[in-house]
Amino acid sequence: MTTKVLAIDDSRTIRNLLRVSLEGAGFEFHSACDGQEGVDVFPDVDPDVVITDINMPKLDGFGVIDTLRGGPNRTNVPILVLTTESSDELKARARNAGATGWIVKPFDDASLVSVLRRLTGHVS
Amino acid sequence: MSGNSIRDTFFEECEELLEALVEGLSQMEQAPDDMEVVNAVFRSVHSIKGGAGAFALDRLVSFAHSFETVMDKVRDRELVVDEKLMSLFHRAGDHLSDLVDSARDETHLDDEAETGLIGELDSYLGDEAAAEEFSFDAITLDFDGPAIELPSEGDSAAFRVFDIRFAPSRALYENGHEPLLILDALADLGDLTVEADISRIPEFDAFDPADAFLSWHMRLTSSEPETTLHEVFEFVEGLCDLDISVTAGGEEVPVPAPLDPEPSTGTVEAMAEIEAAEPPCEDTPYDGPPRERRKEPRGPKPTLRVDLDRVDRLINTVGELIINQAMISQRIEELDLPTVAHLTNELEAYKLLARDIQEGVMAIRAQPVKPLFQRMSRIVREASDATGKKAKMVTVGDSTEVDKTVIERLADPLTHMVRNAVDHGLEKPDGRDAAGKDPVGTIRLSASHRSGSVFIEISDDGAGLDRERILAKAIEKGLVPPDVELSDPEIDNLLFLPGFSTAGEVSALSGRGVGMDVVKNAVHALGGRVSITSTPGKGTTFAIVLPLTLAVMDGFVISVADQTMVIPISSILETIRPNPRDIHVVGTDSEVVSVRGSYVPIVDVADNLGLTRHDDAGGTGILLLVSTELQGLTALRVTAIHDQRQVVIKSLESNYAAIQGVSAATILGDGKIALILDPEELINLAHASGNDPFAQHSRMELRHG
């Protein structure tokens, strides 16, 4: 079974880059261009792992995590945060919010894929 | 998707982000406390940085980083935006745009300005900037430890035995982790034995499936350094109790002891001790709701990106449809059927539908003038800096939509006019002060739709045109005879004459050998007109009138010397069937017509196109009153007006060759090709051929007045 990834990022460039590397690695790729859209499509996509940007219009990455991790429909799906900062403060914040891990931009395909495999157990 | 097209998308996206940035900055000027706006600006810069990082555009990344860091301070309310900082943001935005351009076109960009800007930006960061030397990791995943150490030959045999105790907290599961996968990852590093501690699993009644009761005691024999082990636990740090120790190492490679199937009491005790010693989960206290989170009403409407070629193909086809519809209508009329009446109803409906389709298709090409206007704010800024003037730009109606090509081709003339407005229009601050005006001048750009045309105005609140100097200059350059008597608007229009340079001294800014005649030609090429009005002490306004689209236009179908032609309605002020006694002959063969007390020179279209008249059966013909920039009011004489209709413009230049006085061609309902006249050029042609209605016009006015 293919692993489904939902990538939430307002940058078309980043979405494209993620699509190319993840589809190339055998993942099923879905994307949303802001946090709200990401949260909205989440039930339909029913992904195995979520990748989300932090700075986004409408609903930011922390809002995405809050929404997915909170409420009656909370999910334990791994959520990876895409960030350009690698500060410990941000990591702690992401972790406290309920993020599973983080990827620092710019990312290279190999490490991105290896992180996703590590979190989902996906082997292609 | 190939790498190149991702790169292209990135630059396309940059354009959009830069537009959003410019818009955000101008909104910030109005409301510096609106954090939503600040956030939007931050995001634009941040997204550019993020994308640029992926393409290793280091210079762009590091500049965006400096920019973003200062913006972040504003976001955190650690910095208050004053005029100076606002100006810096604008300049940084401009430079960011330049960097994007230079990265895309792979051109060199002078880094002197950049160094200065980065210095200025960093000066807002205080000591932090010095401490935080920015570097962009080439390695993408940020591991806390050093990069993976490849085992060298020397220590390849250095197997060590790690004793790992791993007790996940409830939060670890809640954050989406799966301990099994972590164990798998450890197993990849070497020989792993795992022992589960199930001692904490409570009675069934007290069992909460969401809670964490399991812990593991593992023994890993591996040649990997300890940091590699920590990397496996990178994401779960703080979400579990973790203890890694080396029990054996070096040359000695002990065979891992077989594990007891049952956990020994000792292990459980050890676990209990650890738990007693440390809190189960060292959570950093949650520092309140994230600051960026808030409602963001500014969302783009869903859009579809389409290749422009496809749209143009569609527009072309719709154009053919309109022609086809006109032809069918005409054929049916020619049939002279007795039952044609109800057919015409259907035909009328067809015509309306075709028009609707056409308008819909045209709307695809239409774009708001906003980005174009926004670019002008930079011109105003640069021009005022260069001239030591103070100026602000105000835009009105920037959501007005205009054909994409028109917008593109308007950029240069508009830039020139805006630069002129600052350079020549506005006074220096002290001059403005003396005149009792705000020392900061205003450049106003407005756009609106009026009766099927687009109006664009560029106005300044400067001193107005110095008509005396303009006239003197024109006489000196031999553009007009020394004894010429001109009205104020006529003097103003001298600016559009080729070879007229407005500045007394060539200024660094506008004196680039580009005159207003170039502007006029560019507007003209778009089928538009430009006019000028000026009030001494109050300022000058340039008005550009453009057709909504370049593909169709409303025209009069006229006949001239047995030829059917089309003349754009937009250029015609009035049509007159003159009384022969109102027409006077001046000199040898020049004619003027008296219109409400003033004399208007007549230009005969057939004469000027070199056509032989066969239809000159004593008629005075029809006069079309046209206002031109150079020659003022002129009457064009044609034989008759037959119809008013929308025609599809077909370029003559690309299909045949350019003809003076003719702007394009069209296909009429009967399938015949008709030329579309260019009244302005036609009148200039008459002027140039010695049949000088302009000079006569002036004389007539003189005599008349």
Same domain membership, residue B238 and residue B361: no
Same domain, B451 and B380: yes
Residue B113 shares a structural domain with residue B230? no
Report pLDDT for B259.
Answer: 46
The count of residues in chain A is: 124
**Which of B490, B520, B547 is the last residue before a domain boundary?**
B547
Q: Which of residues 43-72 of A touch B (CB under 8 A)?
A: 53-60, 62-63, 66, 69
- The reply to whether B92 and B215 lie within a common domain is no
Q: Which residues of B touch A15 (CB under 8 A)?
A: none
Contact between residue B352 and residue B321 where contact means Cβ atoms under 8 Å apart? no
Nearest to B50 among A14, A34, A59 (CB): A14
Residues in Cβ contact with B684 at an 8 Å cutoff, skipping those fewer than 6 apart: B628, B630, B631
- Give me the CATH number covering residue B162: 3.30.70.260
Print the domain residue range for B663.
552-704
What does the block give as tokens for B586? 């001046």
Q: Do A106 and B177 touch (CB under 8 A)?
A: no
The CATH number of the domain holding residue B637 is 2.30.30.40
Whichever domain contains B60, its CATH number is 1.20.120.160
Does residue B644 sit within a domain?
Answer: yes
- From B20's Cα to the closest Cα of chain A, the distance in A is 12
Note the Cα B181 to chain centre separation in Å: 48
Interface contact flag, A106 B54, Cβ < 8 Å: yes
Q: How many helices (H) and strands (E) does chain A have?
A: 5, 5
**DSSP bridge partners of B196:** B216
Say which amino acid occupies B631. Answer: Q
Q: Split chain B (705 residues) into runs of 10 and give each run's mean pLDDT.
A: 72 88 86 84 88 84 88 84 86 89 83 83 70 44 42 56 85 82 83 82 75 83 81 82 76 46 41 40 43 44 77 83 82 74 80 84 84 87 86 88 85 88 87 87 88 84 87 83 82 79 48 66 81 88 82 84 87 86 82 86 86 60 80 86 82 73 82 86 76 43 36
Query: Considering the domain boundaries, does residue B463 fall inside one?
Result: yes
Phi, psi for B645 (deg, rounded to 5): -155, 165
Whether residue B559 sits in one domain with residue B634: yes
Tens of pLDDT, residue by residue over A6-34, are: 999 988 888 888 888 888 888 889 999 88
- Note which residues in 85-104 of chain A have CB less than 8 A from chain B: 86, 92-93, 95-104
Residue B676 falls inside a structural domain = yes
Same domain? B285 vs B179: yes
Question: What secondary structure letter does DSSP report for B659?
Answer: B
Q: Does residue B639 lie in a domain region?
A: yes
CA distance B378 to B212: 59
Same domain, yes or no, for B638 and B538? no
Question: Nearest chain B Cα to A14, which residue?
Answer: B51
Any idea which residue has 């006109």 for tokens? Answer: B326
Distance in angstroms (rounded) separating the CA atoms of residues B21 and B90? 9
- CA–CA separation, B134 and B119 (whole Å): 14
Tokens 């490679």 sit on residue: B253
pLDDT the model gives residue B300:
53
Cis previous bond, B568, omega within 30: no
DSSP state of B424: I
Q: Is the CB of A77 inside 8 Å of chain B's CB atoms?
A: yes
Would B148 be classed as within a structural domain?
A: no
C-alpha atoms less than 13 angstroms from C-alpha of B243 in its C-beta half-sphere: 15
Task: Choose, out of A29, A84, A114, the residue to mutate when testing the contact with B (most B CBs < 10 Å).
Answer: A84
Count: domains in chain B: 5
Is residue B480 within 8 Å of B486, Cβ to Cβ?
A: yes
Q: Are residues B1 and B112 in the same domain?
A: yes
Tokens for B250? 């070096």
B318/B449 same-domain check? no
Residues B46 and B16 in one domain: yes
Partner-chain contact A17 B176, CB within 8 Å: no
CB contact under 8 A, A96 and B284: yes
Best B1, B4, B6 residue to mutate vs chain A (most A CBs within 10 Å): B6
Chain A and chain B share a number of CB contacts under 8 A equal to: 145
Instruction: Provide DSSP, B526-584.
Output: TT-EEEEEEETTTEEEEEEEEES-SSEEEEEEEEETTEEEEEEGGGEEEEE---GGGEE
Are both B350 and B383 inside the same structural domain? no
A20: nearest CB among B1, B174, B235: B1
Determine which of B136, B142, B182 to mutate to test the interface with A (most A C-beta atoms within 10 Å): B142
Chain B residues touching residue A8 (CB < 8 angstroms):
none
Side chain identity, residue B88: L
Q: Is the dihedral of CA B639, B642, B644, B650 positive or negative?
A: negative
End-of-domain residue from the set B305, B326, B349: B305
Is the ipTM beyond the 0.85 threshold? Answer: no
CA of A82, closest CA in chain B: separation in Å?
10
Examine the fold and report which residue of B525, B547, B569 is the final residue of a domain before the chain moves on.
B547
CATH of the domain at B493: 3.30.565.10
